[in-house]
Amino acid sequence: MTNIAHKLRVAENLRLTSRTWKMVLEADHEGIITAPGQFVNLEVEGKFLRRPISVCGVDGRRITLLYDVVGEGTYEMSQWPVGYVADVLAPLGNGFDPSRSGDSPLLLGGGIGVAPLYQLARELVALGRRPVVILGFNTADDVVWEEEFRQAGAEVYVATVDGSRGTKGFVTDVPACTDPARTYFYACGPLPMLRALSDSMPIGGELSLEARMACGFGVCMCCVVQTADGPKGICKKGPVFRKEELIWK
């Protein structure tokens, strides 16, 4: 049995770009997050449902999140001062499997989907792998976490839809994405990006899905995806699925 209810203290809450914020939550003990790619579900005052947010990094008792302010709930989160005690469900979701990566895996992030790839990159480097990270954004002003990935020891490329930074286009337009030396891929981003990768990538991989959730821990069936093994809850059986599991409609 795992207690998934925690009170975590906000240690940092900073605006990084016009839309993206970084929040560091501090626990009184280590080990709450057990795999890269898991998420937390945050209670927000005035909202009945929680806000599910991917874990970007884990450093001892500190859990780092990146989040976009897209509505009232995430706006409310952006107003939490340092010292605010958040009601948090964690760990949620399965997470990525670093053991499948091979020597030189690709990590493909779109927008705020770059967040969960960071802890994965660090764990891959620790395992002696050489991760190649491609970060895709709409425009140069949206680019986040590029330097952090580089400092973690990854080879990093950036693509922007408007060409204002790095390769013009999507992550798939970066030549490193189609390099035959790549052994496996891990991706997180908007559904159209994940679907395109699922259809086009010749190598095996894992995709982290996003959906509007109610519970976040596998009982309400509000977030589901069709898989080869029947419908599965994204929050509990995912958010990470292997490419061959998913059936896109």
Partner 1 sequence: MEMNVNATAAPARDLSVTLSGVRLQNPVIPASGCFGFGYVMAEYYDIDCLGSISIKGTTLNSRFGNPLPRTAECPAGMINSVGLQNPGVDKVVEVELPKLREVFHQPIVANISGFSVDEYVEACRRIDGAEQVGIIELNVSCPNVHGGGMSFGTSCESVAEVTRAVKAVTTKPLYVKLSPNVTDIVSIARAAEDAGADGLCLINTLLGMRIDVKTRRPVVANVMGGFSGPAIFPVAVRMVYQVSKACSIPVMGCGGVSSARDVIEMMMAGATAVQVGAANLRDPYACPKIIKALPEEMERLGIDRLSDIIGCV
| Sites of contact with partner 1 (CB under 8 A) | 1-5, 43, 46-50, 89, 211-215, 217-224, 226, 230-231, 236
- Taking the complex as a whole, how short is the minimal distance between the CB of residue 248 and partner 1, in angstroms? 13
Q: Specify the residue for token string 């929680």.
A: 50
Task: Name the residue nearer to partner 1 (CB basis): 45 or 103.
Answer: 45
- Taking the complex as a whole, how short is the minimal distance between the CB of residue 249 and partner 1, in angstroms? 9
Task: Name the residue nearer to partner 1 (CB basis): 163 or 231.
Answer: 231
Order of strands across the sheet with 240-242?
167-168, 155-160, 132-137, 106-110, 185-188, 205-208, 240-242
Task: Name the residue nearer to partner 1 (CB basis): 71 or 163.
Answer: 71
SS (H, E, C) 74-128: HHHHHCCCCCCEEEEEEEECCCCCHHHCCCCCEEEEEHHHHHHHHHHHHHHHHCC
Task: Name the residue nearer to partner 1 (CB basis): 10 or 214.
Answer: 214
Q: Are strands 106-110 and 224-227 parallel, antiparallel or unpaired?
A: unpaired
- Taking the complex as a whole, how short is the minimal distance between the CB of residue 246 and partner 1, in angstroms? 14
- Taking the complex as a whole, how short is the minimal distance between the CB of residue 214 and partner 1, in angstroms? 4
- What are the structure tokens assigned to 121, written together? 């990159």
Largest CA distance in the chain: 50
- What are the structure tokens assigned to 138, written together? 């709409």
- Taking the complex as a whole, how short is the minimal distance between the CB of residue 222 and partner 1, in angstroms? 4
Could you tell me the sign of the dihedral formed by the alpha carbons of 142, 111, 38, 201, in that order? negative
Task: Name the residue nearer to partner 1 (CB basis): 82 or 247.
Answer: 247
- Taking the complex as a whole, how short is the minimal distance between the CB of residue 215 and partner 1, in angstroms? 4
User: Among 64, 132, 130, 127, which Cα is nearest to 99's?
Assistant: 127
Residues across the chain: 249
Task: Name the residue nearer to partner 1 (CB basis): 43 or 146.
Answer: 43
- Taking the complex as a whole, how short is the minimal distance between the CB of residue 31 and partner 1, in angstroms? 17
Task: Name the residue nearer to partner 1 (CB basis): 57 or 93.
Answer: 93
CB 110 within 8 A of CB 171: yes
